[in-house]
Structure 1
Amino acid sequence: MPCYGRLFSSLLVALVLLFASSRAPAADISVRNPSLSAGEDGYTLSADFNINLNARLDEAIAKGVTLYFVVDFELSRSRWYWLDEQVISRSQTFQLSYHALTRQYRLSSGVLHQSFPSLDDAQRILSRLRNWQVLDKGSVRPDQTYLAAVRMRLDLTQMPKTFQVNALANRDWNLSSDWARWNFTPVETSPSALTTTSVLPAAPVEAR
């Protein structure tokens, strides 16, 4: 019986939050200043994200629901005779949660985690991606121009099952930035010099 009680409570919380989200302001994410930097072991990605959570997502976190934010990076090369070649595709997951006992918000990635006194503080760190190695040394050629792309999305598939059925069909919970794209040309003679252009506008892409 205790098991059924917990299941019913989780389902009730999910239904309340999902029903209320239909009246909440839209949440959104946008990407700013993406760039690749050369290092001894390869290239690292840095980017800033504008993350706007609506009141219902804030409430979900406060009620103990963990939100999973995924940063996707892709690098491709154009080929005139065939489809574009995908050179690399990487993803990194960040978990944002609230711990009622300590009254602390927690941001985790893999085995690393950090606690914050407020959601704003945690969100501020989440919005600044720095020095994520996405390309190994020798994986790109200096005589080629590539198209780099990055986005951030809320991954509903990692959330509790009680949320997934309705959340996947609710636009207030389908939170994803557009792909931010820019040209990238490695320079062999100067490891720190990279050629980039401004971010290209892209059509919205559904979370995978």
Structure 2
Amino acid sequence: MTASITRCCRRLAEALFALCLAVSTALAADIDLRNVQLLPAEDGGLALSAEFGLDFNPRLEEAVGKGLALYFVAEFELIRPRWYWFDEKVAKASQTWRLTYHALTRQYRLSTGVLHQSFGSLDEALRVLSRVRHWPVVERDRVHPGERFDAMLRMRLDVSQLPKPFQVEALSNRDWLLDTDWKRWTLTVPAAGGDGK
């Protein structure tokens, strides 16, 4: 009897370990974040530049090639730490890109707001998507030179903007989970012309 219970507990432990391993693998990031800079902008605020390494899998390539629009969102937050109260969120910004393929023209289109660019290949479109340059994220009156903040940045595939059947599939299929973890760093606001890594 005791041997049977021990065997059962061992199998349960092995199953739980396999489940935990599968979940941790499913939550792994497929976008790398590199070369993040927060520099003074021309208007006196702060502008962000960063590079993302996008690891596009065959399932996503096929989905775009068949006309499905994919939405990518970059999110930024600037937080002022306070020892006497909750931290203060000084700035929050997000930018969305829409990636589509047009079969008639055989071109990929990358859109943000009313602006769009067309590309002859998916690699070209992803190269442009992976580089954010001079994105104004903090207004001039929100920060002053010498102040210290915690900054956070991430990019993700926004599955909430997919058609409903794909949203359901994204819940159980790792191929649709494309994102970074929040990258956090401490920032001292530079004077004009300074570096804000």
- Length-normalised TM-score, structure 2: 0.81
More helix by share: 2
CA deviations on 1:110-143 (whole Å, 9 max, x unpaired) are 0000000000000000011001100111211334
Is 1:167 paired with 2:180?
A: no
SS at match of 1:168: helix
Decide which of 77, 93, 96 is 1:93's aligned counterpart: 96
Identity, % of aligned positions: 56
Whether contact under 8 Å (2:100, 2:109) holds in the other structure is yes
Contact 1:27 1:54 in 2 (8 A): no
Q: Contact between 2:39 and 2:196, CA under 8 Å: does it hold in 1?
A: no
Number of residue pairs matched by the alignment: 169
After superposition, the Cα gap between the structure-2 partners of 1:195 and 1:126, relative to the gap in structure 1 and judged at 3 Å, is: closer
Superposed CA offset, 1:79-129 (max 9, x none): 112222111111100011100000000000000000000000000000110
- The answer to whether 1:179 aligns with 2:182 is yes
Mapping 1:102-181, distance limit 5 Å? 102-181=105-184
Asked whether 1:84 is paired with 2:87, we answer yes
Give the RMSD, CA atoms, in angstroms.
1.5
What TM-score results when the alignment is normalised by the length of structure 1? 0.77
Unaligned runs of 5+ in 2: 1-27
Unaligned runs of 5+ in 1: 1-25, 197-208
Choose 1 or 2 for highest CA Rg. 2
Aligned residues of 1:27 and 1:52 also touching (Cα < 8 A): no
